[in-house]
Amino acid sequence: MKTLLLILSAATLLAAKPEHAAATLLAGEKSNIPLPQDSGFRVAILGDSITYDGRWPTLVESALRATPAFSGAEIVNFGLSSETVSGLSEPSHAGGRFPRPHLHERLGRILDAFKPTHVLACYGMNDGIYMPLDEARQKAFQDGIIRLKTEMENRGAKLVVITAPLFNGDNPATAPQGYDAVLDAQAEWLMSQKDWQVIDIRPDLRAAIAAAKRNDPDFVYARDKIHPGPQGHDFIASSVTRQLWTLWQLPEKPALADGEALSVLAKRGGILKLAWLTETRHLRPGVPKGLPLKEARTQAAGLLDAYRTFLPAPEHDPR
What's the pLDDT score for residue 172? 84
Q: How far apart are the first and last CA of the chain?
A: 36
Mean pLDDT for each consecutive 10-residue tract of the chain (319 residues)? 34 28 38 50 98 98 94 97 98 95 98 98 98 96 98 97 97 81 97 97 98 97 97 98 96 87 98 98 98 98 96 54
Q: What domains does the chain contain, in order, with CATH numbers?
A: 39-308 (3.40.50.1110)
What pLDDT shows up at residue 315? 53
